[in-house]
Amino acid sequence: MGTNEKLADFIVGSVPTVIYIPDFLTDLEETQLFNHIYQAPISKWKTLKNRRLQNWGGVVHEKGLLSQDLPSWLTKVTQRIYEECGLFPVAPNHVLINEYLPEQGIMPHQDGPAYFPAAAILSMGSPAVMNFTPHSRLSDCNVQEEVDPDAQSSNRATAEQSKSPPSFSVVLMPRSLLIFKDLAYSDYLHGIENNAVHHYDGAVNLSEAVKGSGLDQLPPNLEAATEAMNSGDVKILHRTTKRISLTCRLVLKVHKNLIKI
């Protein structure tokens, strides 16, 4: 699975392959997605220990996807990701929508084997920092269901410090799209700290996040979200509002007509 040539300018960091596209959505598109998400039936929300989520597209099982059709407002997103990025063989057919309050995050994890080896994360609302940490291919780890039923936890995943590649982080600004594949997908765990304050001084996409709606010249609604501390060059991001993420993935094995809509 190669990288589309038009995405070359959006590759960040030294670990293959992390793609960060700022302003993938317009302000209007972000507002429309928010409206669709919060107009969904309350039964679509599942409450976990530290956040809420909506599952769209069906149930992911170790043998594939027990599918449901995505609503039109989500197929518009997944089709656009497929067409503009060219990293999936077909449009993603499964979307997890996570809601994070300012102090909520997600434990470091790796997406399960049922998925095509690429993930696309669309961010809305508050900015946040996603951390990537190397692991030893999770060969000795137990599978847990805190993230979703087919994700693998990092509770027992320990990197071989002498051989492992470096950890890194990515600033996720509102309306941005993050895609990771290759080693960033297979050999790394990704997660967000359960903290209202995030450090972003080491982010691999700092210059990209700064452009336009970035961290040095913030639009008025984000001015209070970040600050640069006087001691050294440590940069701090304050999560003051909720964040919504759409994690779009492709399950290749699909079992239809097993779930009533």
Percentage of the chain beyond pLDDT 90 is: 66
Cα 68 from Cα 254, distance rounded (Å): 10
pLDDT for position 191: 97
Does position 175 have pLDDT exceeding 90, yes or no? yes
pLDDT at site 148: 55
Residue 96 burial class via C-beta count within 10 angstroms: exposed 0-12, middle 13-18, buried 19 and up:
buried
Pairing of strands 64-67, 254-255: parallel
Burial of 29 (0-12, 13-18, 19+ CB in 10 A): middle
What is the reported pLDDT for 163?
A: 55
Range with the largest mean pLDDT of 79-83, 148-152, 255-259? 79-83
pLDDT digits (tens, 9 = 90+) for 27-43: 999 999 999 999 999 99
Is residue 243 predicted with pLDDT exceeding 80? yes
Average pLDDT of 54-65? 90
Q: Residue 230 — very low, low, confident or very high, per pLDDT cuts 50/70/90?
A: very low
Identity of the amino acid at 45: W
pTM for the whole thing? 0.82
Task: Give the pLDDT of residue 139.
Answer: 40
Query: For 113-123, what is each residue's pLDDT tens digit?
Result: 889 999 999 99
* CATH node for 5-255: 2.60.120.590
Mean pLDDT value across the chain: 83
